[in-house]
Copies of this chain bind each other. A is one copy, B any other.
Amino acid sequence: MEMSSKLLERAVAEISQLPGIGKRTALRLALHLLKQPVDQTQLLAGALLKMREEIQFCKKCHNISDVEICEICANGTRDQSIICVVEDIRDVMAIENTNLFKGIYHVLGGKISPMDGVGPSQLNITTLVEKVRTGIVKELIFALSSTMEGDTTNFYIYKQIKDQNIITSAIARGIAVGDELEFADEVTLGRSILHRVPFESSMKNH
């Protein structure tokens, strides 16, 4: 679409780089910003820049954080011996929202998916295995989505830590198979944390 302003054109091009946002939506958003006071755009641009430039990933659990160690890992009241293994930062938020989990997390940053070119080395698996080998971990809860890739990832990790004397569990399959964790309602998700089952028996349903 021909635009009479290169400034607008560039802004639309940048906005439409975002996933799920086409040229037309990008134009609508840009024109909206032009109608609003200039400080709305300044606040938006400032917040995006500050987030991208200053955000850190927790050195212990790889969760998103404003400091070196995230507030969950740094919280003395959280049980450091129970680790909930999740794919993604959004899963941490979803489980935190249930208020039913008092352990800590380990964010893998994805799941093993050869189709998408994601192998174990691209995920935060080594740091998890090392953490387990220190001996402070009593239980590992697998909370990955129940897809083939999720199961593959669970099993890959399980094989590396099964010689250690720890409990391994998987969240209860109260969540429909194939559903994404972040879209589950809080009650279902909370129960799936409370009713976790031993990892071995969780694999029997396959």
Contacts and interface: CB of A to CB of B under 8 A. Distances in A.
Interface of A: 1-8, 10-11, 13-15, 17-21, 25, 27-34, 38, 40-55, 58, 63-66, 70-72, 89-90, 92-94, 96-97
List the number of copies, as a whole number: 2
A55 B89 contact: no
Contacts of A97: 1-2
Contact of A7 (B8, B29, B50): B50
A35 B21 CA distance: 17
Contacts of A3: 64, 93
B29 A51 contact: no
Nearest to A40: B17
A49 B41 contact: yes
